[in-house]
Every structure is written in C-alpha cells, then in structure tokens.
Amino acid sequence: MQTNLEKLQTKKYLMFSIVGTYFVMLIANLSGHEITTLVTNLLYVPIPGALVILSIIVAKRFGIKGKHGRAWLFFVGLAVSWFIAEQIWLVYDLVYQIDPFPSMADFFYLAGYPFLFLFSIYYLKPLKDAISKKTLTYVSLAAIALLVPSLYMAYDTDSEISAFEFTLALIYPIADAIVLIPALIGLILFFRGEVNFLWSLICMAITLNVVADTGFLLTSMDGSYYMGHPIDMLFLWAYMLFSFGVYSHIQIFKRHRPNIKFQSLDDLR
Amino acid sequence: MFDATNEEISKALVTLAIEKTLINMGKPVLDEVTHRLFANYKCYIPDCHEHPEYLKNVLEELYGDCYNTIVESIKENLGELTTKKSIMNFLTVISE
C-alpha cells in the first residue's frame, strides 16, 4: 500500500527532478551552443530510458490478462517506440550532425501514438461512468481548437519542404489532437476531485507532450528551434511526469505476500 | 454432505462477483484490495458480504469517486441475483 509519506516523497522527487532539469538546461544554454546540444541530447538517454524500465516493471506486474494489464502493455509499446526515436534523433544530431527531420526517428515517434491512444482508453476505462457527454464534447472542441491552428501553421510553411515532410508535419498535430482528448478527460476528472494526483500524472504528461509538440512545430516553422530550446524542457518534463505516474502505480500495486486466509473449512462459515 | 445456508450461498456468490471484477482489471488489483482489506479491517473478501463498507472504503482509496464503475461491474457479475435480499443489502451499502 502506498502510504501518505510515500505519496509525499514521490511528489518531492518529482519536483526535484523538474527543477533539476530546468537548472541543467539553463546552465547548458548559458555555456554555449555546442554544450547545449550535447547536454540536451544526452538528457534524452536516461530520462526516456527510465520510462522504458519503469513501464516494463509495471507491465510485468500486471501481466497480459485484465484491462490494466493490456493498458500497461500498450504503454510499454509507447515507451519503447519513443525511446528508440530519441536515440535515432541523438545519433543523427550528435554523431552524423545532420537534421534529424525527417528520419527513421519520425517513424518511431508516430508509431508511439496508437499505443498512447489505446493505453489512455484502457487507462480511463475504470472511470468511464464519470465521463459525461458534455465533458466529451468540450474536450473534443478543445482538441479541434488546438488542431486547426497547428494544421494552418503546417500548411503555411515555406514551399521548400518535400511532400513527405509536409505530410509528416500534418500527421503530428492530428495525432496530438487525438491523444489530447482522453488526456484532458483525465485532467478534468482530477480537477473535479474524482481521481487523485498520482493517477492524473500520466494525463498531465500527455497534455504537456502535446503542448511541447505544438511549440516544436511553431518554433520549427519560424526557424527558431535549436536542440536545447526551452521547448525541449517541456518534452523532458513530460517524460518525467510519465515516469512518476508509472512509478506511483508500481508503488500502489506492490507485490504482497499472500495471507493465509483460512485454517480450516469452518473458518469459511 | 455439505449443507450451505442461503446466507452462505449469497456470501460465496458475492465473493465470486467481487473477485471476478477485480481480476478482470488485473491480478495486482485483486491483491491490493485483499491486502488493504486485511491491513485496515483484518478481514477478507468474503467478509465484505457482511461489511460492504470496508470494500467501498478500499475501492474509494484506490480509485476515488470513480469506484462506482467497479460497483457496476460487480452488479453485472451478480446478474439476476441482485434481487436477493442479502445481496441487495450488500449492493445498497456499496452503492451509497
């Protein structure tokens, strides 16, 4: 069972990690362009890597049976896809020193979205009765409100990019808008007090990731993006929120030694 | 010959319905609920037939106000037995 002290400690570690990343990136940005590129790329190894390890632990605990089990299996798919994507990006950027967009990394980033969507559906299934049609409508409208300007930005970009790059730039906002719907539902349930903070961490992570993606699209279109841009901090924070969300589930659903339930048949009566 | 009373049959059916619902969510969910019931109330799932409030509290701890979905699933698993008096009492308390 996760005690109040453990919950408090989890929140403390989360805050520490968020503030720590902020300072690491701030110092890197103050130390010059090369250091920023190196530090940011390297941060994408342990942070998404930790998420892969934690998601495998939680998926192993739940197994493949049951609704939660299936949800965590999809989550492993997401964590592994995005981890591979980050490492491909790192190799292109740091080793080959070529623009990683478009590359195989995009294939793995995009492969993560169906996993993320299926995970959120299974994750929110136990809460389905608390989701009204009104909430669903508002949330869908919010997703569309985010999608329209993002599509416009992607469409309005300079004509030098290839048709493939253009298609990729269109797919990301659409995928983001789709995963934003269950994430916002989770957040609304949290603000209504229907689920606790640690349950909602994963929904916060999805929302933050969507915000970061939109920011990435915006800064890439106006050419102001560079590796180590503050937008990268949002991506890293999203990974951290994901990790702490998964960690809280590992804490909640700890392995317990089975209690000896009944000594004799009479105990059943 | 094992003679079970109506009360004992109800207890067994409620236990099965609770366990089936929780195991459908995942084995660790069943383990956690069992563990919390014992840690907080020194009782087991079959005892929830007499003390539905214990199960309600544990589910609320884990799922917040959204525990109602789990209660609905327990009801579904009980099927037409929900009209039985002792099972109705159990469901009334747990749904409050």
Q: Which two tokens stand for residue B11?
A: 């207890």
Taking the Cβ of residue B26 and every Cβ of chain A, the question of whether any pair is shorter than 8 Å is answered with: yes
Residue in A1, A199, A253 closest to B29 by CB: A253
Taking the Cβ of residue B23 and every Cβ of chain A, the question of whether any pair is shorter than 8 Å is answered with: yes
Q: Which residue's entry shows tokens 């069972």? A: A1
Burial A40-64 (b: 16+ CB within 10 A, else e): bbebbeebbbbbbebbbebbebbee
Contact A155, A222 (CB under 8 A): no
Q: Which residue's entry shows tokens 């209660």? A: B71
Residue in A67, A199, A255 closest to B26 by CB: A67
- Interface list for B 46-85 with A (CB within 8 A): 46, 62-66, 68-70, 72
Q: Rounded CA gap, B84 and B5, in Å?
A: 14
SS3 sequence of B45-67: HHHHHCCHHHHHHHHHHHHHHHH
Res A96: pLDDT: 93
Helix, strand counts (H, E) of chain A: 9, 0
Q: Rounded CA gap, B61 and B66, in Å?
A: 10
Chain A partners within 8 Å of B31 (Cβ): 253, 255-256
Contact A76, A57 (CB under 8 A): no
Spell out the residues 6+ positions from residue A166 whose beta carbon is closer than 8 angstroms to its own: A154, A157
- The reply to whether residue A68 touches residue B28, judged by beta carbons under 8 angstroms, is yes
pTM for the full predicted model: 0.88
- The reply to whether residue B25 touches residue A269, judged by beta carbons under 8 angstroms, is no
Res A269: pLDDT: 53
Which segments of chain B have a pLDDT < 50?
A: none
Res A65: pLDDT: 82
Res A255: pLDDT: 75
Q: Rounded CA gap, A240 and A235, in Å?
A: 9
- The reply to whether residue B38 touches residue A269, judged by beta carbons under 8 angstroms, is no
Contact A50, A243 (CB under 8 A): yes
Chain A: residues touching B (Cβ < 8 Å): 1, 61-63, 65-69, 125-130, 189, 193-196, 199, 252-256, 259, 261, 268-269
Res B1: pLDDT: 53
Suggest the residue from B66, B67, B74, B76 to mutate for an interface test with chain A (most A CBs closer than 10 A).
B66
Q: Which two tokens stand for residue A185?
A: 């539902």
Query: Nearest-CA distance from A256 to chain B in Å?
Result: 7
- The C-alpha torsion from A38 through A40 and A41 to A47, rounded to 10°, is 140
Res B45: pLDDT: 95
Kindly give the confidence (pLDDT) of every residue in chain A, 269 residues in length, as a single tens digit, with 9 standing for 90 and above. 455 666 677 788 999 999 999 999 999 999 999 999 999 999 999 999 999 999 999 999 998 888 888 999 999 999 999 999 999 999 999 999 998 888 899 999 999 999 999 999 888 877 777 788 999 999 999 999 999 988 887 777 665 778 888 888 889 999 999 999 999 998 888 777 667 677 789 999 999 999 999 999 888 878 888 999 999 999 999 999 999 999 988 988 887 766 555 555 565 55
Query: Nearest-CA distance from B46 to chain A in Å?
Result: 8
Res A10: pLDDT: 78
Q: Rounded CA gap, A213 and A153, in Å?
A: 13
Query: Nearest-CA distance from B59 to chain A in Å?
Result: 11
Nearest to B67 by CA among B94, B35, B28: B94
- The reply to whether residue B66 touches residue A130, judged by beta carbons under 8 angstroms, is yes
Taking the Cβ of residue B6 and every Cβ of chain A, the question of whether any pair is shorter than 8 Å is answered with: no
Res A210: pLDDT: 95
Contact A222, A229 (CB under 8 A): no
Res A54: pLDDT: 97
- The reply to whether residue A63 touches residue B27, judged by beta carbons under 8 angstroms, is yes
Residues B46, B48, B54: CA angle, nearest 5 degrees: 140
Res A139: pLDDT: 94
Res B43: pLDDT: 95
Spell out the residues 6+ positions from residue A35 whose beta carbon is closer than 8 angstroms to its own: A28
Q: Rounded CA gap, A206 and A112, in Å?
A: 12
Residue in B35, B65, B72 closest to A194 by CB: B65
Q: Which residue's entry shows tokens 């560079």? A: A226
Q: Which residue's entry shows tokens 């730039």? A: A169
